[in-house]
Amino acid sequence: MIIATQLVPRGFSAITVWPFILVRPASVRDKGLIEHELVHYREQRWCTPVWWARYVFSADFRLAAEVRAYPRQIDAGG
């Protein structure tokens, strides 16, 4: 579920906390950004707490997650 909100942390345009994709209102029409967050959405759907713990505490895991997401964003024109 995509929700336009100002609750997105500073420095981010969007954040996925399964089952929600929180997007700043100014970025809600950014197709590339939404595609990027959909990758994270799919990653999180089976183990959100574990995924977030690894994302926060492991730079290697975080880098791998972003490397998987950015090509989708670029392909979508974002």
Three-state SS letters, the chain: CEEECCCCCCCCCEEEECCEEEECHHHCCCHHHHHHHHHHHHHHCCCHHHHHHHHHHCHHHHHHHHHHHHHHHHHCCC
Mind listing the pLDDT tens digit for each residue in 4-47? 999 999 999 999 999 999 999 999 999 999 999 999 999 898 78
In this predicted structure, the answer to whether residue 78 has a pLDDT above a threshold of 70 is no
* Between residues 76 and 29, the one the model is more confident about: 29
34 phi and psi angles, rounded to 5 deg:
-65, -45
pLDDT of residue 13: 97
pLDDT of residue 77: 79
